[in-house]
Amino acid sequence: MKWRVDVAVQTPAHSALGDVLSYVSGVEVTPGALVRVPLGRREVLGVAWTVQAADADDPPSLALKPVTAVLDALAPLGESWRDLVAFAARYYQRSLGEIALAALPPQLRDLTAVQLARRLKRRSAVPPPDVEDAAPAALALSVEQAEALARLDAETGPFLLFGSTGSGKTEVYLRAVATLLQRDPDAQALVMVPEINLTPQLEARFRERFEGRFGAGAVVSLHSGMTHPQRLASWLAAHGGTARIVLGTRMAVFASMPGLRLIVVDEEHDPSYKQQEGARYSARDLAIWRGHREKAKVILGSATPSLESWYQSRPAQAEDAGGRYTRLSMPSRIGTGALPAVRLVDMNLQPPKTVLSGALLDAIGQRIARGEQSLVFLNRRGYAPVLACADCGWKSECPHCSAYRVFHKIDRTLRCHHCGFTERVPRACPACGNLDIAPVGRGTERLEEHLGELFAAVRRPDGSAIRIARIDADSTRRQGALESQLAAVHAGEVDVLVGTQMIAKGHDFRRVTLVCAIHPDGALFSSDFRAPERLFSLLMQSAGRAGRDAAYVSAQGATGEMWIQTHHPQHPLFAALRRHDYEAFARRELEDRAAAGMPPFAFQALLRADARTQEAAQAFLNAANRAADALEGADRVTRYPAVPLAIQRVANVERAQMLIESSSRAALQRLLAAWQPLLHDLRRAPEGKGVIRWLVDVDPHSI
Ligand code: ADP
Ligand code: ZN
Ligand code: ZN
């Protein structure tokens, strides 16, 4: 007796090989089992997808290569997991094998059946932990928290937990998880957060809450900052059911969890849930799909929900049956009750070239004098975005990209933030030899320096020197640097913290009473229709860092403040922000989007081509466009002309894209699916000459 096994393996991107490859096995293989199979000259890991008895003399199966090994020490991946992978592959236009293998821990690829069996044995040899009840003294829930929890328990969802910054959403997640785990000894919960490194606090809170009650291995993490052995260990614990809680970033949405009953997506609006390379999936959207498939409850939480989720949670009204999500609101802040006051500084009234207005400097000075902290937020790292020659007009362009190289003063380099090309800063203008080349504009590094000069003479209440620190991708590159810098802020060693959006998100800084955004205007007039949404949520999140602790607010006679320096103080976005009125902002944005027929009222995809020349990239897209004309249902989908990307050239590759849009998600999906084979063919046709790669981005985040 023989079996024909169709196996999902990682085939090269865009290869013409089908979704699964067929092999033959002399033993029966369970679908979902991990197998090792020959592929070309290599032997690779794969997932058995479908298995059928094959006639031993059947000529087609005689020609198949045999499965090399079945990793049967591991329970096969469940049907619901395979369904999730298949759905993601279909929806995001990727191959099954690519998604399946990317969803497995990388180390699994290198283990033989024997090594894996040994690892699993070692794991199960670990003695069960002492289960003693070390639950911390219970907080009394706020009325809003209690109400949200009651509805989470009673209704099916999916839920949008719309709670202000500091309203205690995390406590709601913790309780919802606790209730579930206590009720059902096999239940597992998946808790996703945008960037786990930014919130070591959250991980600590989960461990503290659950390890005492459910054992030391009850909480595992899953994110890209872990080593391969750590990731494998977490994954095995989730798959084996010993981990009751998986805390992870977007990749965790694919964790195999046989007892999954609850999925939390914290800060669901965060752009990092959308994968930006390879399979461009949205972990938030997949969480909703997965919850539905596995009958697990899904909680999306945010103070500034994505407009998609907000719209999906609209209440029923007159003709409209309402959205599919249940909206739960927690408008009040725990503790101080008050959200910070938002103050706008009209930069038109400031002397030209003002970086920090006098009033803002005074306000920061007062915080220092009271022993409180300030956050200064500027979304641009480096010293200056451009270096320029005043004589001949030379600018620090990257030779490989259509972008300027950023001046980093610390190591005196010009660095391209797109391709990484780095050079020492030239002594003189490379074009005319002028010695007087100067930085233009400013980034966090220069701002830090500037603040240092301005406050050089200022002392703390105890007479000691003040400390200004910076947190951005540059200052945190070294392993452990971010943790130690955050710890210094929490310990009160830092008076003024300068940083990029890394400091705006999630942190529960207790002593911060002032937050300011120095230069947020760029996003107001961006060509990307999601830019205002992102700016609003970033500013709300930033404001949410201020005045979180009554001890540092009312006791000092001050409230938390959010300062915004802008040239457009009349902009309606700021008016809504001043009132902390996300709902007003969302209403206005949704009206605009409805009028313009944009998401969430339409569904989009991008077809992108990268090529040696812009002409070649666009020619491919135009040919693809013509090819799509013949497809059934093409008339229900709008295809826009090919255009260069905003940053047209990166690392000497020219990039172009074409927007595809439809009011029907199904129509868009059908077109994309039918288009896929034509695109593969085109790539090999004359129209594909010079094309390096192409890709489809479904529900793209930025256009
Ligand atoms: P969010 O996630 O909504 O921004 P957090 O969950 O971080 O808010 O809560 C803000 C602060 O309030 C945290 O320090 C948390 O420990 C505290 N907190 C939450 N719920 C309560 C409660 N019921 N009573 C007292 N403090 C609470
Ligand atoms: Zn010059
Ligand atoms: Zn470059």
pLDDT the model gives residue 559: 67
Between residues 453 and 335, which one has the greater pLDDT?
Answer: 453
304 lines ligand 1 (CB under 6 A): no
pLDDT the model gives residue 556: 42
Nearest-atom index, ligand 1, CA of 334: 12
Instruction: Give yes or no for residue 494 having a pLDDT over 80.
Output: yes
Nearest-angstrom CA–CA distance, 586 and 531: 13
Other residues' Cβ atoms within 10 Å of the Cβ of residue 80? 17
Nearest-atom index, ligand 1, CA of 163: 3
36 lines ligand 1 (CB under 6 A): no
Nearest-angstrom CA–CA distance, 312 and 310: 5
- In the reported structure, the alpha carbon of residue 583 is separated from the centroid of ligand 1 by a whole-number distance in angstroms of 22
Q: What percent of the chain has pLDDT over 90?
A: 68
Instruction: Give yes or no for residue 16 having a pLDDT over 80.
Output: no
Residues 185-200, mean pLDDT to the nearest whole number: 85
The dihedral over CA atoms of 347, 350, 351, 354, expressed in degrees to the nearest 10, equals -50
Q: Taking all residues of the chain, what is their mean pLDDT, rounded to a whole number?
A: 90
- Say which residues have a Cβ less than 8 Å from residue 429's Cβ, sequence separation at least 6: 389, 391, 392, 394, 435, 436, 437
pLDDT tens, residue by residue, 35-87: 999 988 889 999 999 998 887 666 666 688 999 999 988 999 999 999 999 99
- In the reported structure, the alpha carbon of residue 138 is separated from the centroid of ligand 1 by a whole-number distance in angstroms of 12
Q: What percent of the chain has pLDDT over 70?
A: 93
Instruction: Give yes or no for residue 557 having a pLDDT over 70.
Output: no
Residues 538-553, mean pLDDT to the nearest whole number: 76
Residues 2-8, mean pLDDT to the nearest whole number: 92
- In the reported structure, the alpha carbon of residue 407 is separated from the centroid of ligand 3 by a whole-number distance in angstroms of 13
Nearest-atom index, ligand 1, CA of 142: 23
Instruction: Give yes or no for residue 554 having a pLDDT over 50.
Output: no
- In the reported structure, the alpha carbon of residue 418 is separated from the centroid of ligand 2 by a whole-number distance in angstroms of 24
Nearest-angstrom CA–CA distance, 198 and 19: 37
312 lines ligand 1 (CB under 6 A): no
473 lines ligand 1 (CB under 6 A): no
pLDDT the model gives residue 54: 80
Instruction: Give yes or no for residue 367 having a pLDDT over 80.
Output: yes
For residue 440, report the phi and psi dihedrals to the nearest 5 degrees: -120, 130
165 lines ligand 1 (CB under 6 A): yes
- Measured by CA distance, the residue closest to atom 15 of ligand 1 is 168
pLDDT the model gives residue 59: 64
Nearest-angstrom CA–CA distance, 268 and 88: 19
pLDDT the model gives residue 702: 83
pLDDT the model gives residue 384: 95
- Measured by CA distance, the residue closest to atom 18 of ligand 1 is 168
- Measured by CA distance, the residue closest to atom 26 of ligand 1 is 334
Per-residue confidence band for 551, with pLDDT thresholds at 50, 70 and 90? low
Residues 475-479, mean pLDDT to the nearest whole number: 87
- In the reported structure, the alpha carbon of residue 400 is separated from the centroid of ligand 3 by a whole-number distance in angstroms of 5
Residues 662-690, mean pLDDT to the nearest whole number: 92
Give CA separation, 304 vs 69, 270, 326, 385, 589, in Å. Answer: 49, 9, 16, 30, 13
Between residues 248 and 702, which one has the greater pLDDT?
Answer: 248
Mutate to test the pocket of ligand 1, among 139, 165, 170 (most ligand atoms within 8 A of CB): 170
169 lines ligand 1 (CB under 6 A): yes
Between residues 143 and 547, which one has the greater pLDDT?
Answer: 143
pLDDT tens, residue by residue, 396-426: 999 999 999 999 999 999 999 999 999 999 9
- In the reported structure, the alpha carbon of residue 364 is separated from the centroid of ligand 1 by a whole-number distance in angstroms of 26
Instruction: Give yes or no for residue 145 having a pLDDT over 80.
Output: yes
pLDDT the model gives residue 353: 87
- Measured by CA distance, the residue closest to atom 10 of ligand 1 is 166
pLDDT tens, residue by residue, 37-51: 998 888 999 999 999
- In the reported structure, the alpha carbon of residue 166 is separated from the centroid of ligand 1 by a whole-number distance in angstroms of 6
Per-residue confidence band for 13, with pLDDT thresholds at 50, 70 and 90? low
Query: Which ligand lies nearest the alpha carbon of 433?
Result: 2
Per-residue confidence band for 624, with pLDDT thresholds at 50, 70 and 90? very high
pLDDT the model gives residue 555: 45
* CB of 365 closer than 8 Å to CB of 455: yes
Amino acid letter, 611? A
- In the reported structure, the alpha carbon of residue 362 is separated from the centroid of ligand 2 by a whole-number distance in angstroms of 39
Instruction: Give yes or no for residue 240 having a pLDDT over 80.
Output: yes
145 lines ligand 1 (CB under 6 A): yes
Which of 350-364, 512-526, 541-555, 605-619 bottoms out in mean pLDDT, i.e. has the lowest? 541-555
pLDDT the model gives residue 409: 93
- In the reported structure, the alpha carbon of residue 214 is separated from the centroid of ligand 2 by a whole-number distance in angstroms of 67
Q: What angle do CA 477, 481, 486 make, to 5 degrees?
A: 125
